[in-house]
Structure 1
Amino acid sequence: MARQVIPCIDVCDGVATDPSEVPGLSDPLDVVGIATSYAHDGADQLFLDVFDPWTAVDYLPDLLRELGKTGLELLVSVQHGVLPSPAECTQLLSAGAAALSVSTSMVEEPDRVANAVRHLGGQRLIGVVNSSGERRRGWRVLVHGGATRTTVDALTVAQRFGELHVRALLANNVDREGTGIGYDLELTRATARVSQLPVIASGGAGSAEQLADALRSGDATHVLVNKVVHSGRETVSSLSESLYQHLHGGAD
């Protein structure tokens, strides 16, 4: 179960954006220390959400090399999913990133994304669909970390990612971020259907039951968690154990 739970660390200037309350950390802002605790808890992958622009991430290759020592597979987003040149991508991939995420560039520069797939291979990219809305009126894409709303249909973008055969698709409803009310299961199901890609549910995780719902009825392959573990309220291990009970132990 722990392998299906992907913890996320938000990063700026090489440190976590908020102090972590994970027990036993010598420095609550130390990204490597936080990641190490997640790895010890059984996590298999880590989503590193780097808020800095590409012009300010000279520290990132060294950080990725240090994080690589944890054994975690590193999924990396820089500047809210803006994709730079293939050479800059290659630098981070060579330093230890398993895949780079793409969101903003898929809306603003789709040809750049297609070119990156040709140079790097689809398996080195993860599509991210940050959206707002609900099924009846439709979901609309947000770019630049939610700062810019668009009229672009989220499912259209999800389908484009599927046509490029990227590694996976992260489906996030920003309306639910930080709420703990659970993922938008209609969004995860719809994006999984149109893209035919493995979907990572994101936005709103607050309990193991909600994680189980995403995997069981939301057609998600993985679930992203951030504040629920960063705050120390749950651990990857405790969520995984509860998740197993919900999926296999007969819990409702």
Structure 2
Amino acid sequence: MNSPTSVFQDRNAHIGDLVIPCVDVARGAATEPSAIPGLNDPSDVGEIVETYATGSAQKVFLDVFDAWDAIGYLPALLRRLKETGIDLLVSVGHGLLPSVTDLEKLLGAGADVVSVSTAMVENPRTIEEAVREFGGQRLMGVINSSRSDAGSWEVHVHDGERPAGVTSETMARRFADLQVGAILANSIDREGTGRGFDLALTRTLVETSGLPVIASGGCGSLQHLREALRGGHATYVLLNKMVHDGRHSIAEIRDYLFADSMYRPGQ
């Protein structure tokens, strides 16, 4: 098994590495035009990512809505984005990785990490084969979670549309066994609410897996970022609308976190 250096760091990561902007992509363009000031083409993924990189973001998450058989445009896009120097975290078709060959194509085109979620439930042998071939650090586990009636969190697959019949804690342990680079802890219940991240979920997955965890779902303010990194024990926070609609820039968010005594420039 290969043992590449992980693009995910520990909690002493540089301040600009804590925030991961997300770009939703379909047919090679942003699914919704961005309101970031100064863009020539608000739907151009390359322009959006370059703006994030200029603002000091060191990673970007590309959430590609197209199915695997409809991403012929993606390798060229990844090669273009790689020129910005930013780390590329890529999710395709609800995290349903068809084969190791498909993974190899994306890694060869410039993806640093490819996420898996549905495939971990429906086709775990492919994930195990991918880990043997490329190392767990080239994969990121996505756990789309919703509170069950029993009070625990239940995994949902196919972009959160179907319950998988497994708890989020169990899935986190499976990802830990494979030594994936990180876990993205997405709260289905909080998505689009602006109420803040589910801090109990992120804490639980950190404690269960021992892996870097990315908080996702529900961010509506700068304070929510601090809460996730502090009380939620997240290593990273995933942002979408907050930056895509131009409400806050990556540089502004960086400066906000710089002001927190928990973080020091250059760390």
Could you state the TM-score of these two structures normalised by the residue count of structure 1? 0.96
Which of 157, 160, 164 matches 1:150?
A: 164
**Residues 129 and 26 from structure 1, CA distance in 2 versus in 1: closer, same or farther, beyond 3 angstroms?**
same
Matched, 1:87 2:97: no
Cα shift readout 1:97-150 (whole Å, capped 9, x = no counterpart): 001000011111222211111111101000010011179611111111122123
Matched, 1:190 2:210: no
Cα shift readout 1:34-92 (whole Å, capped 9, x = no counterpart): 00100010000000000100000010000000000111100000001111211111111
CA–CA separation in structure 2 for the residues paired with 1:105 and 1:62: 25
Deviation at 1:185, TM superposition (A): 0.6
Cα shift readout 1:189-246 (whole Å, capped 9, x = no counterpart): 1001111100011111112211111111211111100010001001111111112224
**Residues 56 and 247 from structure 1, CA distance in 2 versus in 1: closer, same or farther, beyond 3 angstroms?**
farther
Q: Which residue of the partner structure matches residue 43 of structure 1?
A: 57
Greater CA drift, 140-149 or 152-161: 140-149
Say whether the 8 Å CA contact 1:173–1:183 is kept in structure 2: yes
**Residues 101 and 125 from structure 1, CA distance in 2 versus in 1: closer, same or farther, beyond 3 angstroms?**
same
Which of 25, 43, 46 matches 1:29?
A: 43
Which of 151, 158, 163 matches 2:177?
A: 163
RMSD: 1.4
CA–CA separation in structure 2 for the residues paired with 1:47 and 1:194: 24
Say whether the 8 Å CA contact 1:162–1:196 is kept in structure 2: yes
What amino acid maps onto 2:69 in structure 1? Answer: T
Structure 1 segment 162-181 matched on structure 2, within 5 A: 162-181=176-195
Helix, strand or coil at the partner of 1:224 = strand
Structure 1 segment 165-244 matched on structure 2, within 5 A: 165-244=179-258
Structure 1 segment 47-86 matched on structure 2, within 5 A: 47-86=61-100
What amino acid maps onto 1:173 in structure 2? Answer: S
**Residues 208 and 136 from structure 1, CA distance in 2 versus in 1: closer, same or farther, beyond 3 angstroms?**
farther
Considering Cα pairs closer than 8 Å and 6+ residues apart, tell me whether 1 or 2 has the greater RCO: 2
Report the identity percentage.
Answer: 52
Matched, 1:102 2:116: yes
Structure 2: state its 5+ residue gaps.
Answer: 1-14
Number of residue pairs aligned between Structure 1 and Structure 2:
249
CA–CA separation in structure 2 for the residues paired with 1:140 and 1:119: 30
CA–CA separation in structure 1 for the residues paired with 2:244 and 2:191: 14
Helix, strand or coil at the partner of 1:89 = helix
Could you state the TM-score of these two structures normalised by the residue count of structure 2? 0.90
CA–CA separation in structure 2 for the residues paired with 1:221 and 1:107: 25
Cα shift readout 1:135-169 (whole Å, capped 9, x = no counterpart): 96111111111221232111100110001000111
